[in-house]
Structure 1
Amino acid sequence: MEICQYFVEDLGFPVDFLRPKGDTPLFLAALRGHVAMARYLISQGANFVAPNREGATPLHYAARAGQDEVVKYLLSLGVPVDVTCNHATGAPLIMAALCGQASTVEVLLQHHADVNGATSTDYTPLFSSVYAGSLECTKLLIKAGADLNLKCPLDMAIYKGSIEIVKCLLEAGADPNVCIENGWLPIERAVMFGKWDIVEILFPLTSPIPEVHDWSVDGILQYAKSNGFKEKCKAIWEKNLADLKLKAADSFKKEEYVNAIFFYTKAIEIDSCDAALYSNVSLCMHRMGDGEMALKDALIARRLRPEWPKAYYRIGAAFMLLEEYEEASQAFMDGLILDPTNMEIEKAHREAMDCLKKSHFAEESG
């Protein structure tokens, strides 16, 4: 606390000093659960509702980390319990559920958080708790009146193989005969993911499927081996992949980079060998100012397609953001070797060389 006071009061550092992601010191205090520090920063004029570049607020950070006392303090100041500055980030309740913070979920529900509020990427609090594998959060949200079929939390429980959560959802009234997506029933999704324990749980609750001539668990196993089922799986995976790419491209066009990353990441779950998907995630990270993550995905793109010039361009762009000009110059040069006529890479290489020279000059002058 004394060091913070020294920086703010004696050295005159701005209380809302921004880090690259747009976080202020209050974000860090919220994340670490330093209530006294949060009180001091706010007393000095810290903005306690402004979002960072990803659309999160200090309340989101406190909720994510399960810092209940900070959550209560911020709410006591009048921060809306459902504050949402970015449709992809969602409300603090979603963040708490996504991180499995049961006590924080309870605090937010006590303050009348919207139990069915969804993000633009279709995450609800219940879906998020299931994704996190938190049975405790799931039970709390169900008790608070969460819609059991909204955005298909049962599907996520099946995908995760969370047997206890599947049972919890079914006992609470989730419908096993509601098609999840593209005509799939929950039991078919369990078959697709090879979750046979869950198939046995769902079987007595599921209405017979016309394509399964022998309506039994063994009959479903034979159905899973059929060419018809395999073709259906392939067609749906391909459609899902195409839909995700379209949604990602649309989000990118709107400069909704968090959304775009979400959809590209979901696409990668379907096709993890598509270098272009990683390249696009790298570009989104670059636009958000996160050089390290941009570099990480660009390197994966290069590993998947070592002869692809764009992968080297993405690597170089990430290094430029990190102000590592020598590495950037080398990456751009590697790209030019593969595509000597690429004007975009050539221009980027010149800029990297200029920055490198200026950097060397500054070092020598200093």
Structure 2
Amino acid sequence: MCQFHLTNTLSSIMKILLHIISNSMGLLCVSWGAISKFHALREDRAVLGNFCGRTPLLFATYHNGGTAEYLLDHGANQDKADHDGSSLLHYAAELGNCEMVELLLAKGAYVDPVSAYGTPLHVAAGKGHYGAMKILLDHNADYNKMVNGVTPLIVATDAKSMKCIKLLVKAGANLKEAAAYTTLHAEKVVSDYFLNCIMEDVDANRDVPFYQGPMLKREIVTSGLISRGSNSLKNKDYVVAAKLYSKAMVLDPDDAVLFSDRSLCWLQLGDGKKALLDANRCRKMRPHWPKACHRQGEARMLLKVT
């Protein structure tokens, strides 16, 4: 039986019955009985030790909004996270429980806590919970927050949720990162799905003429690939960076900077031949560019050494 520590200011103590049962999904449910008046219940001290840090408030979040509100009104910690780092807001967002999301935020819950699964916005996007996402965004959730290499827009794209994608695009989510991700990691149908969604939104807002649609798609994807390539290069992940630059070159074969940057990747990977090939192409495009000359020199030096 779990022991609850109550504050010393209790004027009366009534029995609290906590029934823990298992449902068909293997989740734990809580039903409360005989809850009588008392001044304050410090829920955050009443951690169920055998349940991975999950508290009575967390179980109430799943099954009883009234109980959850009562606990919050009497001092429960709205930002309490379990041992996986998932907060109450993560769980409410995962369920698409708009009422609970509203309640937690109204009680001061932090809108962007990060767990192994991302922020609550990531979680809601992955489940396609438009309503929960709308509430989180209305409370200034970070729509460009990257966790584990993905943003909420990327997660929504993986979930193939048109409404959620449009919601994030309208909020101002970064299209480049998502476009690059879908190009690299998703099936072509998903990439087209994402880009078509963007184009529908653009067309609806009449930002560009309809005949420029394919050009805009190309530009978005290319920019996204270059952006992710630059990040990979900065993080010294040269194999991934070279792969990203190669894909960008297919869309934009006349960009000398791409060849210069990929040449640098080959240099760092010890491949002098490929480094020199890219450096030569870069120099041909921009004969008087100092960096192109520098890349050629580095590649030749590497070939001499090896």
Q: Which structure: greater helix fraction?
A: 1
**Aligned equivalent of 2:153:** 126
2:61 partner letter: A
Q: SS of 2:242's equivalent?
A: coil
How far apart, in 1, do the equivalents of 2:127 and 2:158 lie? 9
Corresponding position of 2:302: none
Q: How does 1:178-257 map to 2 (within 5 A)?
A: 178=223, 179=225, 181-184=240-243, 206-207=251-252
> Which string of whole-angstrom CA distances, capped at 9 and with x for unpartnered residues, describes residues 266-300 of structure 1?
xxxxxxxxxxxxxxxxxxxxxxxxxxxxxxxxxxx
One-letter identity of the residue aligned with 1:141 = L
Q: Which moved more, 1:172-181 or 1:122-131?
A: 172-181
Identify if the C-alpha distance between structure 1 residues 97 and 187 changes in structure 2 by more than 3 Å, giving closer, same or farther. Answer: farther
TM-score, structure 2 normalization: 0.52
Q: How does 1:39-78 map to 2 (within 5 A)?
A: 39-78=69-108
Structure 1's 20 and 135: CA in aligned 2 closer, same or farther, altered over 3 A? same
TM-score by length of 1: 0.44
Residue 92 to residue 147, structure 1, CA distance change in 2 (3 Å): same
Q: Is the CA contact 1:64–1:95 (under 8 Å) kept in the aligned structure 2? A: yes
Q: Give, in angstroms, the shift of residue 164 of structure 1.
A: 2.1
RMSD: 3.6
Match of 1:138 among 139, 144, 165: 165
Query: Is the CA contact 2:143–2:168 (under 8 Å) kept in the aligned structure 1?
Result: yes
| Matches for 1:96-115 after TM superposition, within 5 Å | 96-115=124-143
TM-superposed CA distance for 1:116, in Å, is 0.8
What pairs up with 1:297-312 in 2 under 5 angstroms? none
In structure 2, runs of 5+ residues without a counterpart are: 1-15, 19-30, 203-215, 229-239, 256-268, 270-306
Kept in 1: contact 2:153–2:165 (CA 8 A): yes
Q: Which amino acid aligns with 1:159?
A: E
Change (3 A) 1:52 1:17: same
Q: Name the count of aligned residue pairs.
A: 190
Q: Which residue of 1 aligns with 2:51?
A: 20
- The structural deviation recorded for 1:90 is 2.8
Is the CA contact (8 Å cut-off) linking 1:176 and 1:185 kept in structure 2?
A: no
Query: Structure 2 CA distance, aligned partners of 1:113 and 1:182?
Result: 30
Other structure's SS at 2:113 match: coil
For 1:2 and 1:185, the matched residues in 2 are separated by 58
**Unpaired segments of 5 or more residues in structure 1?**
190-202, 211-234, 236-366
Cα deviation digits, residues 295-349 of structure 1 (max 9, x gap): xxxxxxxxxxxxxxxxxxxxxxxxxxxxxxxxxxxxxxxxxxxxxxxxxxxxxxx
Q: Which amino acid in structure 2 is aligned with residue 177 of structure 1? A: T
Structure 1: distance between partners of 2:55 and 2:106: 20
Percent of aligned pairs sharing the same letter: 31
Name the SS of the counterpart of 1:177 in structure 2: helix
Amino acid at match of 2:195: V
- Cα distance change on mapping 1:83 and 1:54 into 2, 3 Å: same
Q: Distance in 2 between matches of 1:144 and 1:68?
A: 19
- The 8 Å contact of residues 30 and 58 in structure 1, kept in 2 or not, is answered as yes
